[in-house]
Each structure stands twice: as structure tokens, then as C-alpha cells.
Amino acid sequence: MGERAAKDALFDGFAEVAKALASGRRAEIVDVLAQGERSVDDIAEEIQQSVANTSHHLRAMARAGLVTTRRDGTRIFYALASDRVGELWSALRDVAGDHVAGLERLAGAYLGDRDGIDIVDRQELAARLKRGEVIVLDVRPTAEFEAGHIPGAKSVPITELRRQLRALPKSTEIVAYCRGPYCVYADDAVRELTRKGYQARRLAEGFPEWKRAGLPIEQGNGSGT
């Protein structure tokens, strides 16, 4: 193989990763799997695709080495191949936010008006948690909470928030978090809590960013259930 052909093959190999992510649905799958391992059925439900279409996307991602699989009986579970895949997704998302024209408008159409939603950064939340000054709600699906969460957080999936409101004291500030900066669950939780008279903010990013920052995490039911 000549030098030019060898270099072409090498860079085509690099591009396989980009090809494997060249779909909004595949990017969304990475966003889901950044929270933890999920079954094919669960992923299909999350991205609102058929199991067949979801499996097709996952196989393409597996061929590029981005995800791994395991079988439990008749169920197949997928996970990101490494934390670096999650970092790649975060970098891709950030670059798109900085350079893709119209992305801010698209985000606004999905997330809604964020003007009335106060945020808290990781450092402040970690310090206030240590002092016991705040209640933290993980409003992601239960499976994601069990795969990993902020220590001391209470699992209150957004679909169950209204039912659990009475158990939350109004005398303590509440911070909600979900999957990341483009996740709508925490926004919806803060809006609902604020309407009901609670003092509430959302974590500026989400659980994957908290984990990548090297802050403590827990797995399983935790103390928040």
C-alpha cells in the first residue's frame, strides 16, 4: 500500500466514529447511555423509535466501537464503550452550540423560555450539599438514577413530581438535575416547583458532567429512595 493510500485508510478509519454518530437519533442514544446502561427496549422508548430501528442504530455504533453489549436472558443491554465516548458527545454538543447557526433557536423551541429558571453550578451545589443546606432531586427515570446519581439525591422522576410534592418541605431550597444542559426534565421540575411556592433551581448541567468533574457519585437505590 502506498503512502497516500495508507494515509487515506487511516483517516477513513478515524472517520468511522463520525459516521457512526451521523444521525440525530444516534446522538440521542449516546445522551441516554451517558446516564448508564440501558436495554434496547428502554432505549427505543426513550428515543421514540421502533425496537428494530433502534437496534439498527446500536449495531452501527457497536461496529465503530462506541458501545458494548451484554445479554441477560432474552434482553440485550447496551452501554458506552468508555467514558471517552461520553466526553466526545459533550465536545460535539459544545462545538455545535458555538458554531452551528440556528442551534440556539432550535434549543429554545425544545426547552422553552428559560428566563425564569435560576441555575446553580456544580461547585456551589457540592458545597451546599456538604452543609446540608439543600434538597437535591434527580428527575431522570429511575433506571438512570440507579445507574448513578449525586449522593443524597432523591429519585423523583419528572412523571412523579406532582404526586410527591407534599413530601417536600418549603423551608429548604430544592435543586433539580437531569441528563445535561439540553435536558428538559429539570426545567419542567423547576417550573412546577416554583408555581407551587417552592424555592427551586436547576443544576447548570447534569449528572454526566458532575461525574466527569470527579465529584462523588452513588449507584443503586441510594439513600434518596
In the chain, the percentage of residues whose pLDDT exceeds 90 is 94
What are the cell numbers at 36? 448508564
42-72 tens-digit pLDDT: 999 999 999 999 999 999 999 999 999 999 9
The mean of the pLDDT values for the chain is: 94
The pTM score is 0.88
Beta carbons of 64 and 20 less than 8 angstroms apart? yes
CA 176 to chain centre: 13
What's the rounded Cα separation, in Å, for the pair 44 and 89? 19
Give which of 170, 171, 174, 141 is closest to 155, Cα–Cα: 141
Grid coordinates representing 162 are: 406532582
With 0-12 / 13-18 / 19 or more C-beta atoms within 10 angstroms meaning exposed / middle / buried, residue 201 is buried
Report strand pairing: 67-72 vs 75-80.
antiparallel
Catalytic residues: 178
Q: What gap in Å lies between CA 72 and CA 144, rounded to an integer?
A: 18
pLDDT tens track for 118-164: 999 999 999 999 999 999 999 999 999 999 999 999 999 999 999 99
